């Protein structure tokens, strides 16, 4: 395991070695050095090309070779403090460095230089750095991109080179594998190849359009969540996608999220309306629609209605960040003495569903930022109570968790599930929140056992969160090879010649009668091409039918045979049709993550 502090030094030093190599290759007069920090994944270097200099990924081998020469020279990296006059003299040729100097001076910070070798490279930098270039053991340049100076479109576009460095070649190779695997699993790439979803400029950025296969996936996931929670007495509601601004003003969302909400204009009213960015305010109004008694509680409302948020164009990312989405939302209105039981039920359902999808996870206890109490509404003492309560719930359920200061919602702390995918990346999915403040703001009431008006507690709960984002995670987690129960197409029948088409269609009819999602590939292509195409589509099973499988039978009966191959290339050989049906139906019923063994 790398030492994080040492890794930062190595990566920062590697970025300086990159600059030094470029000076050797191109000359100091061919570019202005701008900036180049170390990052969590590596480093980058921004520069302004001068004259006719153009650097592309094709240039990486020669740049890396020159970098390796600098590393092999084991040059010392010297730290030096200088005054403003001396620094301005050194960097008089570079407008970016002189701007940095003015910024450093205004902040009252020290001016620090780092020098490689015998003054071969002098750069303005706060560090930290390795003691010498020889400490760099493994590095790689990754890509070239454009980047605005200070990230502002008002400034000049610079060239940015991304790279990474590690303390060993083994760690570097593992990281490069992860990059390659991430690209292979990219849901945007697979979504197109598997025909799951698309985007249209005419519809608008961030508004996904689901194909029949993608819509099936989305619906199947939602139906599974809904059937699971329906067994626990949860009831589904449906709320409009537009609401008056006043609703969000009362809930507190207006002040917090107005800039990311879509405003709706009415031709017949001067009132302000918005597309709803969340469901909880509307659910309070269903609760408030009639008198409630303690005997009525808990009330559990689930909602899959669409939500809308006006995300910035640069932040949109396939299904990971969209403008139109839904949530497997649930809001539970209950008495205080019912909270523990309701949260336990929710946590149990979450575990069941995460286990079904094969996702490992841990919990984050998302609490207030103690240095910015102004971000949160409500009584701080109430916050103290709920945060302590959440810890007790975690311990009672024997849940491993870590603290997340500053990650709370503005109205309540959260118990957030952080799921880990096949590449080890964490995603926040499920959440459970104990909320005293929304019922207070909307003046919600129930009549208690003594006939007194009492505020209910509102629990916010989601299991998969946004189905859009969850589909992104599943696509990348499974690399498009979904479990059989979730696969839009579960089997493809492949007759070897036209002579087997009649028998193949009988097999097709029999499987469809049993609810199997199956198609027949009757194209005049060779068998191997059909198998390859089915594997590219990630279809779990290919049912090959040739003269041997048909035999002397003219129709499909209990002893009829098929030759079964799996998408992973495994040949299961000849199987009785009924035997195959029994095996695949068991996989579907149990929601197995594995193929037939």
Q: Is 515 left (phi over 0), alpha (psi -120 to 50) or beta?
A: left
379-405: per-residue pLDDT in tens?
888 899 999 999 999 999 999 899 999
Q: Is residue 182 part of a domain?
A: no
Q: Are residues 47 and 152 in the same domain?
A: yes
**Annotated binding residue 372:** no
Band of pLDDT at residue 269, cut at 50, 70 and 90: confident
Per the annotation, does 331 bind a ligand? yes
| Interatomic CA distance for residues 164 and 15, integer angstroms | 9
Q: Give the pLDDT band of residue 412 (cuts 50, 70, 90).
A: confident
Instruction: Please check the confidence at residue 548 and state whether its pLDDT lies above 90.
Output: no
Banded model confidence at residue 255, pLDDT cuts 50, 70, 90: confident
d(CA 209, CA 191): 11
In this structure, are 506 and 466 located in the same domain?
Answer: no
The reported pLDDT for the residue numbered 552 is 60
Q: What is the pLDDT of residues 487-530, one digit of tens each?
A: 999 999 999 988 889 899 999 999 999 999 999 998 988 989 99
Reduced to 3 states (helix: H, G, I; strand: E, B; else coil), residue 361 is strand
User: Do 545 and 571 have their domain in common?
Assistant: yes
How many contiguous H segments (helices) and E segments (strands) does the chain have? 18, 29
Residue 485: inside a domain: no
* Domain termination site, one of 145, 176, 207: 176
Residues 461 and 510 in one domain: no
CATH number at residue 242: 3.30.930.10
pLDDT digits (tens, 9 = 90+) for 129-168: 999 999 999 999 999 999 999 888 889 999 999 999 999 9
Q: Mean pLDDT throughout 395-416?
A: 91
Output the pLDDT for position 3.
65
Q: Is 408 helix (H, G, I), strand (E, B) or coil?
A: coil
| Residue 349 forms part of a structural domain | yes
Question: Do 203 and 101 lie in a common domain?
Answer: no
pLDDT over 60 (residue 228): yes
Residues 166 and 281 in one domain: no
Identify the burial level of 382 via C-beta atoms within 10 angstroms of its C-beta, where 0-12 means exposed, 13-18 middle and 19 or more buried: middle
537 and 418 share one domain: no
- Overall number of domains in the chain: 3
Outline where 514-576 has alpha helix (H): 527-536, 547-550
pLDDT in tens, 11-54: 999 999 999 999 999 998 899 999 888 998 999 999 999 988 99
Give the predicted TM-score (pTM) of the model: 0.87
Residues 453 and 495 in one domain: no
Encode pLDDT of 69-91 as tens digits. 999 999 999 899 888 888 889 98
- Contact status, residue 94 vs residue 33, Cβ threshold 8 Å: yes
- Please give the mean pLDDT across all residues of the chain: 92
Spatial CA neighbour of 305 closest among 226, 213, 250, 209: 226
pLDDT of 564 > 80? The answer is: yes
Contact 278, 235 (CB under 8 A): no
Size of the chain in residues: 597
Q: Determine the Cα–Cα distance for residues 455 and 174; give it in Å rounded to an integer.
A: 54
Q: What CA dihedral angle connects 185, 188, 193 and 196, to 10 degrees?
A: 110
Is residue 486 a part of any domain in this protein? no
Residues 29 and 93 in one domain: yes
- Is residue 76 within 8 A of residue 39, CB to CB? The reply is no
Of 125, 143, 176, the residue at which a domain comes to its end is 176
430 phi and psi angles, rounded to 5 deg:
-70, 155
Do residues 367 and 270 both lie within one domain? Answer: yes
Could you give phi then psi for residue 168, rounded to 5 degrees? -150, 155
Boundary residue ending a domain (176, 211, 235): 176
- On whether residue 202 sits in a domain, the answer given is yes
Residue 310 covered by a domain? yes
Phi, psi of 414 (to 5 degrees): -135, 145
Would you please indicate which residues are annotated as catalytic (active-site) residues? 280, 309, 327, 329, 331, 414, 460
Sign for the pseudo-dihedral over CA of 538, 479, 317, 417: positive
Determine, yes or no, domain membership for 181: no
How far apart (Å, rounded) are the C-alpha atoms in residues 115 and 110? 16
What burial class does residue 208 get, using C-beta atoms within 10 Å of its C-beta: 0-12 exposed, 13-18 middle, 19+ buried? buried
Q: Which residues have CB under 8 Å from 217's CB, separation 6+?
A: 196, 471, 474, 482, 486, 488
Alpha-carbon gap, residue 498 to 504, rounded angstroms: 10
* CATH number of 567's domain: 3.40.50.800
**Is 226 found in the same domain as 102?**
no
150 is in an annotated binding site: no
pLDDT band at 109; cut points 50, 70, 90: confident
pLDDT tens digits, residue range 428-443? 999 999 999 999 999 9
Indicate which CATH number applies to the domain containing 46.
3.30.980.10
For residue 447, tell me if it sits in a domain: yes
Give dist(CA 476, CA 474) in Å, integer.
5
Flag whether pLDDT at 2 surpasses 80: no
Q: Which of 298, 333, 329 is nearest to 225 (CA)?
A: 329
Buried b (16+ CB within 10 A) or exposed e, 347-361: bebbbebbebbebeb
Residue 366, CA distances (Å) to 223, 253, 320, 417, 434 in order: 29, 19, 21, 10, 12
Share of the chain above pLDDT 70, in %: 98
pLDDT at 371: 83
Which pLDDT band, with edges at 50, 70 and 90, does 553 fall under? low
- What are phi and psi for residue 587, nearest 5 degrees? -60, -40
Mean pLDDT to the nearest integer, 338-352 = 95
Please give the residue range of the domain that contains residue 520.
Answer: 491-590
Confidence of residue 560 (pLDDT cuts 50, 70, 90): confident
- How far is residue 386's CA from residue 367's CA, in Å, rounded to a whole number? 10
Cα angle 449, 455, 459 (rounded to 5 degrees) comes to 110
> Tell me: the pLDDT tens digits for 240-251?
999 999 999 999
Specify whether 154 is located in the same domain as 205. Answer: no
């Amino acid at each position: 395991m790398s030492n994080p502090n040492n890794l930062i030094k190595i990566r920062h030093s590697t970025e300086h070695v990159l600059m030094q190599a470029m000076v050797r290759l191109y000359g100091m007069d061919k570019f202005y050095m701008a900036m180049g920090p170390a990052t969590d994944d590596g480093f980058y270097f921004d520069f302004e090309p001068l004259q006719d200099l153009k650097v592309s990924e094709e240039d990486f081998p020669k740049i890396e070779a020159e970098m390796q020469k600098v590393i092999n020279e084991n040059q010392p990296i010297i730290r030096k403090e200088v005054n403003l006059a001396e620094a301005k003299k050194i960097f008089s040729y570079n407008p970016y460095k002189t701007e940095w100097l003015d910024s450093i001076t205004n902040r009252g910070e020290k001016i620090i230089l780092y020098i490689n070798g015998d003054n071969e490279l002098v750069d303005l930098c706060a560090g930290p750095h390795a003691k010498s270039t020889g400490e760099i053991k493994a590095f790689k340049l990754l890509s070239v991109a454009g980047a605005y100076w200070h990230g502002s479109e008002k400034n000049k576009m610079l060239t940015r080179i991304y790279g990474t460095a590690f303390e060993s070649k083994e760690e570097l190779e593992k990281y490069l594998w992860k990059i390659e695997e991430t690209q292979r699993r990219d849901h945007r790439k697979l979504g197109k190849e598997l025909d799951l979803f698309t985007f249209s400029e005419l519809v608008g950025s961030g508004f996904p359009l689901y194909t029949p296969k993608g819509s099936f996936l989305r619906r199947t996931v939602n139906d599974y969540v809904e059937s699971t929670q329906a067994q626990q007495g949860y009831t589904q509601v449906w709320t409009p996608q537009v609401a008056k601004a006043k609703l969000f003003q009362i809930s507190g969302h207006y002040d917090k999220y107005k800039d990311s909400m879509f405003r709706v204009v009415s031709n017949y009213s001067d009132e302000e309306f918005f597309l709803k960015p969340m469901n909880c305010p509307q659910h309070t109004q269903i609760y408030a629609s009639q008198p409630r008694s303690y005997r009525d509680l808990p009330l559990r409302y689930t909602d899959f209605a669409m939500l809308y948020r006006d995300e910035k164009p640069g932040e949109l990312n396939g299904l990971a960040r969209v403008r139109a989405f839904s949530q497997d939302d649930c809001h539970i209105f209950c008495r205080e003495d019912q909270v523990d039981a309701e949260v336990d039920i929710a946590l149990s359902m979450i575990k069941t569903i995460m286990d079904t999808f094969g996702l490992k996870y841990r919990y984050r206890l998302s609490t207030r930022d103690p240095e910015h109490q102004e971000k949160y509404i409500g009584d701080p003492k109430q916050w103290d109570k709920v945060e302590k309560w959440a810890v007790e719930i975690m311990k009672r359920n024997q849940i491993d968790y870590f603290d997340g200061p500053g990650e709370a919602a503005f109205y309540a702390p959260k118990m957030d599930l952080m799921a880990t995918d096949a590449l080890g990346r964490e995603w926040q999915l499920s959440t459970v929140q104990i909320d005293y403040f929304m019922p207070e703001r909307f003046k919600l009431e129930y009549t208690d056992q003594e006939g007194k008006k009492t505020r209910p507690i509102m629990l916010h709960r989601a299991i998969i969160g946004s189905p859009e984002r969850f589909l992104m995670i599943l696509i990348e987690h499974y690399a498009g090879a979904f479990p059989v129960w979730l696969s839009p197409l579960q089997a493809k029948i492949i007759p070897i010649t036209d002579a087997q088409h009649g028998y193949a269609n009988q097999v097709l009819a029999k499987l469809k009668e049993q609810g199997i999602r199956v198609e027949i590939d009757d194209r005049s292509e060779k068998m191997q091409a059909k198998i390859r195409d089915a594997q590219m589509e990630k279809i779990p099973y290919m049912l090959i039918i040739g003269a041997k499988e048909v035999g002397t039978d003219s129709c499909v009966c209990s002893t009829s045979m098929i030759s079964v191959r799996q998408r992973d290339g495994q040949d299961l050989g000849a199987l009785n049709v009924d035997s195959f049906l029994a095996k695949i139906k068991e996989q579907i019923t149990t929601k197995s993550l594995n193929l037939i063994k």
